[in-house]
Chain A
């Protein structure tokens, strides 16, 4: 299957706050663009019970891919990220909005922290998944597949699922690490192309088999490539 290397990655530390929502929706306090070493808190929901209340802090990782070369229907896509230490209960991948300037040409900035639009209308590209300390092969949903095809620039945000993407207030610290020294990749598959548009006036898209043979298993019909 074809694979694209991430064009740019980065991690943003949010701004600590005693208010849970504020910590999730404010600009970040530190942005690290193009890190190359292990980061044990690349994805984090932090809580300290502190002084008469709590302090909330979130870390999010953004990943950019140039998907301008993908024009066919994408039938599957897998985001591949090498993990390191983790005590996270679960992560999620979401649409990273216009982080990196929207086109990967701009370094990740603190103002990109909520490009994922938490508090607004974030778009999930996966369900919750458990974070591995080796290779994470993360299958993307149909919304992601559609966007990968239609967008020249595809940006992902990886964040904690329950406490950051979701609205379960953090009561302890959960984090997941990324080995940024290992290239993050997007592996995908596209629908097979065919020179056949119809058979006996029936549109090809409406045909599943021909002479009892599954259409996808047929290389050509009457010398026309399928």
Chain B
């Protein structure tokens, strides 16, 4: 059973699901990431313009992106339990467009953007992200993504990336248990 088939549990501080094979919970997103979402939003919005956000999650980064002066905010979300929450959140925001489905499936119909924030869960097309950057982001535009590696490196082998370090203190969880987050910064 894939992630998209899982029933998500929404609590005030996290989204998670139980995986029978794993014999435990997978946290999808948690509120301790708030400062990281803020910093990620600030980075991708530094030039204003059109922003693409892949993965809505708890909507933390979306809220921060909206706090910046931007033209448009396109959000792609694929989990059926999160989509209605994203749509509700976006309902009175005139510059927000929600696209449902896999980012990989819709990428050829997207525009190009001044800023991109990629933060997904259970993404079968993670390995395609690197190759898609140049077609999704304008020249001179910027991108960041959730970085699982606690070092100046990244899962996607994207080169010419700089990092800013952020001290964090996450509770034990299934995806990040380090005390320093290396926020990737990539200018196209």
B interface residue count range (under 10 / 10 to 19 / 20 to 34 / 35 or more): 20 to 34
Q: Which residues of B contact A53 (CB under 8 A)?
A: 148-149, 155, 175
Contact of B21 with A50 in the complex, beta carbons under 8 Å: no
Q: Is B171 an interface residue (CB 8 A)?
A: no
Main DSSP-derived SS at the B contact region: loop
Q: Which residues of B contact A55 (CB under 8 A)?
A: 22, 26, 174-175
Q: Is A44 an interface residue (CB 8 A)?
A: yes
Q: Is B119 an interface residue (CB 8 A)?
A: yes
Contact of A44 with B121 in the complex, beta carbons under 8 Å: no
Q: Is B145 an interface residue (CB 8 A)?
A: yes
A53 to B119, CA, bound (A): 11
Q: Which residues of B contact A57 (CB under 8 A)?
A: 22
Determine how close the nearest CB of chain B comes to the CB of A54; give it in whole angstroms: 8
Contact of B148 with A51 in the complex, beta carbons under 8 Å: yes
Determine how close the nearest CB of chain B comes to the CB of A53; give it in whole angstroms: 3
A16 to B145, CA, bound (A): 23
Q: Is B176 an interface residue (CB 8 A)?
A: yes
A16-B174, A18-B148, A18-B175 given; A49·B126 CB < 8 A: yes
Contact of A52 with B28 in the complex, beta carbons under 8 Å: no
Contact of B21 with A51 in the complex, beta carbons under 8 Å: no
A44 to B126, CA, bound (A): 23
Within 8 A of B (CB), among A113-167: none
Chain A: CB-nearest residue to B173: A51
Q: Is B147 an interface residue (CB 8 A)?
A: yes
Q: Which residues of B contact A169 (CB under 8 A)?
A: none
- Seen from chain B, the residues whose Cβ lies within 8 Å of a Cβ on chain A are 3, 19, 21-24, 26, 28-29, 119-124, 126, 145-149, 155, 174-176
Q: What would 26 A/B residue contacts be, using CB atoms closer than 8 Å? A: A16-B24, A30-B23, A44-B21, A46-B21, A46-B22, A48-B3, A48-B22, A48-B26, A49-B124, A50-B26, A50-B122, A50-B148, A50-B175, A51-B29, A51-B148, A51-B175, A51-B176, A52-B119, A52-B120, A52-B147, A52-B148, A53-B148, A55-B22, A55-B175, A57-B22, A175-B21
User: A-B pairs with the 4 shortest C-beta distances?
Assistant: A53-B148, A52-B146, A51-B175, A52-B148
